[in-house]
Amino acid sequence: MAAESNAYGAPPGTGISMPPYYQPTPSVKNRNNYIPQTEPLGPDEMRIIFMGSNPWPPRMSQASTCMMVELGPAKRLFFDLGPGSVRNIVANQVPVPEINDIFISHLHIDHYGDLPYLWQFAPFNGRFKPLRVIGPSGRTPEMGTAAMCDHLKKMGAWTAAWAIGPMADGYDIEVTEFDFRDDGGVCYDRDGVKVTHWRRSHAIDGASAYRLDWNGLSFVWTGDGKPDRLTAEYAQGVDVFVTEMAVDLVNLWALKQGVSPVMAALTLDNFHTSHYGAGYLANLVRPRLAMATHVSYDRELVGEMLAGVRLHYKGMFAFGIDHTVVNVTKDHVWIREAAFPETTNIVRPSPEWLLHTNFDDELPEPSTVTNPFFANQEQSVRDLEIDPALFTPEDQMRPFARPTGETLPMDPAMTLGLPRTPPPESA
Instruction: Measure the CA–CA gap between 315 and 295, rounded to whole angstroms.
Output: 20
The pTM assigned to this predicted structure is: 0.89
pLDDT tens string 128-157: 899 999 999 999 999 999 999 999 999 998
CATH class of 33-338: alpha beta
Model confidence at 414: pLDDT above 90: no
Question: For 181-223, how does the pLDDT look when each residue is reduced to its tens digit (9 = 90+)?
Answer: 999 999 999 999 999 999 999 989 999 999 999 999 999 999 9
What are the pLDDT digits (tens) for 152-183? 999 998 887 777 777 888 999 999 999 999 99
* pLDDT surpassing 80 at residue 374: no
Answer whether residue 125 shows pLDDT above 50. Answer: yes
Q: Can you list the pairs that 338-345 forms with residues at least 24 positions away whose Cβ atoms lie under 8 Å?
A: 338/33, 338/34, 338/35, 338/36, 338/49, 338/92, 339/33, 339/34, 339/35, 340/35, 340/36, 340/91, 340/92, 340/93, 344/90, 344/91, 344/93, 345/90
pLDDT at 15: 84
Tell me whether strands 208-214 and 193-199 are parallel, antiparallel or unpaired. antiparallel
Asked whether the predicted pLDDT for residue 365 surpasses 50, the reply is no
Q: Where are the domains of the chain?
A: 33-338, 366-416
User: Which residues contact residue 93 at a Cβ distance below 8 angstroms, ignoring those fewer than 6 apart?
Assistant: 36, 37, 340, 344, 347
